Structure 1
Amino acid sequence: MYYFDELIVSEIKKKNEVALRELYKTHYPMIVNLIRSNNGTEEEAKDIYQEAVIAFYEKVQQPEFILTCKIKTYLYAVCRRLWLKRLAEKKRYHGNIQETETFLGIEEEMNAIEDNEQRFIRMRESLASLGEPCRGILEDFYMHDLSMEAIRDKFGYTNADNAKNQKYKCLQRLKKLFFATYKEDLP
């Protein structure tokens, strides 16, 4: 187990509310992402996550409780199961959910999620090191959904095609930065 997980479990056993809040805060974004990417809303994600955290809290209070995986994996599996049940109730999921069903591959799925999180961190770092005006152009286009005309006006290009051409060049620079960083992380 990781040190953070050991500390959280130990503090939750002592009914430490600060530890419970930290646990809640740490894994909440992952669950929002899970629910929203599977036909849910942030409000539904909040409900599901609260149920899972309460279930985890109650399990930890049991004297025989032993955590055999990461807290993150445990919460993800519980939330996924609760969400599939809720979708089945709403007739939005047509699979067969049985009480004895286990989610094989949760560890693999969690590893993929952690890999994606690392890629997002590298992308954010690459974008930050890109410099202006490239960073601004890419953020405006991809994150703020500005049109090429709006970008043309904001950055002073003569026409939208010139702005589009600059965006393409910036994107190529970003890719080079990202993959240069990525290669450094490979064994």
Structure 2
Amino acid sequence: MDWIERIKSDPDKTLTILYKDLKNDAIQWIKKEFGLHSEDADEIFQTSIVLLYDNVVCGKLTLMTSHIKTYIFSIIKNKIIQLNRAKNRISSYDATEMMLGVIDEEYQEIAQEDLLKANAALFKLGEPCKSLLELSYYQQMKLDDITLLLGYKNNDTTKNLKYKCMKRLQKIFFE
């Protein structure tokens, strides 16, 4: 029986097993990767277990395409990014992940080496591309606002530059 069926048939027992099996690894990972204190890490981990349960019960999660640990860690990562965004504090590490689309829960199995490579590619890209992509993906600014802020001629110019910057970022990343 897979995890989804186990959660549906006996949620208390299954979630308790998951909680006990993954808690220490999750807390250590949260503290190491995101620099959070134990209390915050514990709260985020507990929230991730609740969100897993909600996703199964609501029918949002019907097929597990990755390992359960990967799925829960993805929930944790998304929750931390959401909290950081709310506090208007997000690291370039997280911004790079978002720009490359690796945050999406459906596609969470990217290696640590690739994350470091993506971060390096963003910095190697340089200005004005780095700022343009960060404003667009990290701060989620509208095209009009970016055009005005960066002083480009019009939205078409900004859109064209954004496209070229993404292509350059991809080229650097895949070198």
TM (normalized to structure 2)?
Answer: 0.50
TM (normalized to structure 1)?
Answer: 0.47
Larger radius of gyration between Structure 1 and Structure 2: 1
